[in-house]
Amino acid sequence: MINFEGSGKKAVKGSYIKSSDKPVDALQLANEIILELKRDNSRYVREIASIKKENAHLHRQISQSLSPLR
């Protein structure tokens, strides 16, 4: 089930799409899905960038820690 926060719109597999017992325009629903996916994608891109930054920091720390052993 897809539920858009605050919109009251739901799409249930195998049934028709409705919002407050009114049919939902398919193009409008598709646009809302695209916007939701773009927001999710932006969040994931930020999380990945943060992880890469942390990874680089840890890599530098490890390299510095190992350099006296070489």
Look up residue 17 and give its two tokens: 């799409």
CA distances from 46 to 18, 23, 35, 41, 60 (A): 34, 36, 17, 9, 21
Distance separating alpha carbons of residues 16 and 30, to the nearest angstrom: 14
- pTM, whole model, 2 decimals? 0.54
Question: What is the per-residue pLDDT across 12-69, written as a single tens digit (0 to 9) for each?
Answer: 444 455 555 566 688 888 999 999 999 999 999 999 999 999 999 999 999 999 988 7
Distance separating alpha carbons of residues 42 and 24, to the nearest angstrom: 27
Give me the residue spans of the domains in the chain: 2-69
